[in-house]
Amino acid sequence: MRVRSGYSNKVIFMIPHFQGGIGDMIKYFLFLIQLCIEKRIRVYFAVTDLKVNNWLKMKYPELYYILTCPVYLQNISQLDNVLNLEYVVRPHLLYSLFSYEKLYLKGSDVFEFAPEIVERSKRFSIEHVSLHIRLGDKFLEIPVEQNQCITDVRTFNEDSVIECIQQNPGILIFCDNLAYKTSLKEKYEILITDFKIGHTCLPSTSDEAIIDTLTEFYLLARSKHIYSASDSGFPRMASNFYGVQYTQLKK
Q: What value, to the nearest 5°, has the Cα angle with vertex 197 and ends 149 and 242? A: 110
In percent, the amount of the chain with pLDDT more than 70 equals 89
pLDDT at 139: 45
Which residues, at least 6 apart from 231, have a Cβ–Cβ distance to it below 8 Å? 134, 154
Q: Give the residue extent of every domain in the chain.
A: 9-113, 119-248
Express each pLDDT in 50-67 by its tens digit. Answer: 999 999 999 999 999 999
Mean pLDDT calculated for residue range 109-120: 96
Q: Residue 227 — φ and ψ, nearest 5°?
A: -105, 140
Number of Cβ within a 10 Å radius of residue 65:
21
CATH class of the domain at 119-248: alpha beta
Beta bridge partners of 113: 56
pLDDT at 147: 53
Instruction: Let me know: does 87 contact 11? Beta carbons within 8 Å.
Output: yes
pLDDT at 231: 81
* Amino acid letter, 70: P
Mean pLDDT taken over the chain: 88
The DSSP bridge pattern shows strands 86-89 and 70-72 to be: parallel
Instruction: Let me know: does 227 contact 164? Beta carbons within 8 Å.
Output: yes
Express each pLDDT in 158-189 by its tens digit. Answer: 899 989 999 999 999 998 888 888 889 999 99
Rounded CA-CA distance 180/173 in Å is 10
Beta bridge partners of 174: 132
The residue with greater pLDDT, 135 or 3, is 135
Rounded CA-CA distance 47/191 in Å is 37
Express each pLDDT in 62-84 by its tens digit. Answer: 999 999 999 999 999 998 888 77
The residue with greater pLDDT, 239 or 197, is 239
